[in-house]
Amino acid sequence: MRVLTTGLLVWLATTCAAQADIYVSRSADGAYEITNVRRPGRHYEKVISEPTVAAVAPSSEPQMIAQMPYAKMVAAAATANDLPPALLHAVIQTESHYNADARSAKGAMGLMQLMPGTAREMGVIDALDPAANIQGGARYLKRLMVLFNNNISLAVAAYNAGPDAVLSRGRIIPPFAETQRYVPSVLRQYRRLQGLAVDAPL
């Protein structure tokens, strides 16, 4: 009973998925019985053991986002506006590189580079306040997502160039050099934070 043929062991290893303990018993006429159920009165030898189920490691994507700057503020704004936190982080990274005091030559301010008119429209009093800026930017981005039927590429293009620039061209990404660079940059960051392939559909 202790000695099983090499062929039998190979067969067990290659054909029996280790979903449970596997036993071999030998009948009175010398035939082998392979089973995962032990019956009373029979002698069995365990040949394959069920592996210990390892704890499944949590996805690295939530951990990555949790470690980003302003993670709690972004999470709150994402929840309030039903947006993926990864998308807000991608916009912030591309717009300001997480510099809450960033100002552009055109007058955009803060983490999400809100223009003064957009900030007022979104109810943001101090565009350099990180929490207010993120909330205002998230509200504006959500409005664009609704306007463009949740098409992330078009919403992101409109965030950069303005919705009229996208609508007036038949809902395509405007041919502006800045916007043509901006949209791929945001989408690349978004896919990375979502754990998606670089060419994964959105």
Q: Which residues are catalytic?
A: 95
Judge contact between 110 and 96, C-beta under 8 A: yes
- Name the nearest CA neighbour of 182 among 97, 105, 107, 94: 94
Nearest Cα to Cα of residue 30 among 59, 69, 4: 4
Report the alpha-carbon distance of residue 74 to residue 72 in Å, rounded.
Answer: 5
Separation of alpha carbons 95 and 142, rounded Å: 17
Residue 115, amino acid: M
Contacts of 106 (CB under 8 A, 6+ apart): 115
Dist CA 158 CA 136 (whole Å): 15
C-alpha to C-alpha distance for 115 and 110, rounded to whole angstroms? 9
What residues have CB less than 8 Å from 31, skipping those under 6 apart? none
**Residue in the structure block whose two tokens are 């099983």:** 4
